[in-house]
Amino acid sequence: MKTLIPALALALAAGPVLAQEARPLSAIVAGLEAQGYRISDIDVDRASIDVEAVAADGRPVDLRVDSGTGRILSETPDT
């Protein structure tokens, strides 16, 4: 039990440090547009953002974007 209490205290103290705050949606949209995407729909979840867009080459695509970093996690053809 004595080992559990310090470990629990450490986990609780580290919680806010480990939590990743989401970037502003406007910054994520601006970043995607700067890469040539034209956005038509956005669905925001806690950990990721699903985006329907048209790529710079004219292909319709579905993007999954990390809400904390704005990094594109996946790009698939929109069917």
Q: Are 58 and 75 in contact, with CB atoms under 8 Å apart? A: no
Amino acid at site 33: E
Q: Report how far residue 37's alpha carbon sits from residue 46's, in angstroms, rounded to the nearest whole number.
A: 22
pTM, rounded to two decimals: 0.71
The pLDDT of 25-43, averaged and rounded, is 97
Whether 18 shows a pLDDT value over 80: the answer reads: no
- Write the CATH number of the domain with boundaries 21-77: 3.10.450
Q: Specify the higher pLDDT residue, 7 or 78.
A: 78
- Delimit the domains of the chain by residue range: 21-77
With beta carbons less than 8 A apart as the criterion, state whether 78 and 40 touch. Answer: no
**Tokens matching residue 27:** 């910054």
